A and B are shown apart, each in its own frame.
Chain A
């Protein structure tokens, strides 16, 4: 058999095992002999360095201590604690009073905004009983309306 040996076969031969034809092939084939020497040589060099060389030392790397999962866990725990704390009736701080005051403020301010935005006594919207205003508006014009939006009584005849 003249086929070159696979890496596994070279390893088996290096362990003192392997079939006779594999060993004889290794004697004849320069390519396989070269591969065998590279495999065994690397292993022997590694063994020698680990056996006799100076021992490795641990060097801490500048790496961020904050990792995503502990941060997420801490955030979730904090949120849960905050919810539990605020949700306990009669707990500290007296949240019921605070909430009532807040609601009152919110109601007042909404009433003021509504009053200001939808004041009824500023001007009367033009009546559009016959649909003229709507029709003109759809055509892109604003009939009977001045620049400030108030109705113009003098232009009624044109439509």
Chain B
């Protein structure tokens, strides 16, 4: 299915552009979400920012060419995921990813009692590490379905997969998280 087809199929409530909606408005509405999505997929903050900028440059080109996507939210998500996928395929990214742990002590919670903090720290560490051990597809599916709240059909349209494949990836991702938290033996 083409990108345009995917955009039309993806139900994008609140994401369709009105004639008065400006580029800045779109940027404000989606930039933080897209950057976070890229950050979760790529981990590196500068690289994520770079990819997010790349996505909005593409949007600007479409805007200037008066060829705006009908479903901007789905279109931006689709472009961002494809851009992240291209980055992850590159050799140097794989090398760098293999030589780094996607977790930092700087990112920890600092609220509550020390005991609560310790439990949350451990949970968070397990979840984040489990997420980064998932395959690329499983990460994408989990982010779209569970984190961003797209439906199975919408996620399938954005990723260009069959709905059954989306369900399979989601099942495996959920199982991995349950395992990481000690719920599956």
Residues of A whose CB lies within 8 Å of any CB of B are 7-8, 11-12, 14-15, 38-39, 41-47, 49-51, 53-61, 63
Cα A8 to Cα B100 with chains together (Å): 34
Q: Which B residues are in CB contact (< 8 Å) with A53?
A: 107, 109, 124
- Secondary structure type dominating chain A contacts: helix
- Beta-carbon contact of B183 and A39 below 8 Å: yes
B65 interface residue per 8 A CB criterion? no
Spell out B's residues near A (CB within 8 Å): 36, 39-40, 43-45, 96, 99-104, 106-109, 123-124, 127-128, 130-132, 142-143, 146-147, 152, 167, 170-171, 173-175, 177-178, 180-181, 183
CB distance from B95 to the nearest CB of A (A): 9
Give the distance in Å from the alpha carbon of A30 to the alpha carbon of B99 in the complex. Answer: 45
A60's partner among B45, B99, B128 (CB-CB below 8 A) is B99
| A63 contact set on B, CB distance < 8 A | 99
B170 → chain A closest CB, angstroms: 8
Q: Which of A12, A39, A46 is in CB contact (< 8 Å) with B127? A: A46
13 A–B contact pairs at CB < 8 A? Answer: A8-B171, A38-B178, A39-B175, A42-B177, A42-B181, A46-B177, A53-B109, A55-B40, A55-B107, A56-B107, A57-B103, A59-B101, A61-B99
Cα-based distance from A128 to B1 in the complex (angstroms): 100
Given contact pairs A11-B171, A58-B102, enumerate 11 new A-B contacts (beta carbons under 8 Å).
A42-B174, A44-B146, A47-B142, A47-B146, A50-B147, A56-B107, A57-B43, A57-B104, A57-B106, A58-B96, A59-B101
Assess the B107–A46 pair: CB atoms within 8 A.
no
Instruction: From the candidates A14, A42, A47, A58, name the one contacting B147 in the complex (CB within 8 A).
Output: A47
Please determine whether B39 and A55 come into contact, CB atoms closer than 8 angstroms: yes
Known A15-B167, A39-B174, A59-B104; contact A46-B39, beta-carbon cutoff 8 A: no
Could you say which of B36, B104, B109, B146 contacts A46, with CB atoms under 8 Å apart? B146
Question: Are A56 and B43 closer than 8 Å at their CB atoms?
Answer: yes
Q: Given A38-B183, A39-B174, A46-B177 in contact, is the A58-B130 Cβ separation under 8 Å?
A: no
CB of A33, distance to nearest CB on chain B (Å): 14
Residue of B nearest to A37 (CB): B183
**Bound form: Cα–Cα A47–B124 in Å:** 11
| Nearest-Cβ distance from residue A13 to partner chain B, whole angstroms | 12
Known: A43-B146, A63-B99. A15 touches B152 (CB 8 A): yes
Which chain B positions have C-beta within 8 A of A15? 152, 167, 170
Is A58 touching B177 in the complex (CB atoms < 8 A)?
no
> Are B174 and A11 touching (Cβ within 8 A)?
yes
Report the Cα distance A114→B168, complex, angstroms.
Answer: 80
Q: Is the CB of B128 within 8 A of A56?
A: yes
CA distance A15 to B183 in the complex (A): 19
Per CB-CB distance, the 9 closest pairs between chain A and chain B, nearest first, are: A57-B104, A47-B146, A54-B107, A42-B178, A46-B177, A38-B183, A43-B174, A56-B102, A42-B177
**CB <8 Å contact, B183 and A59:** no
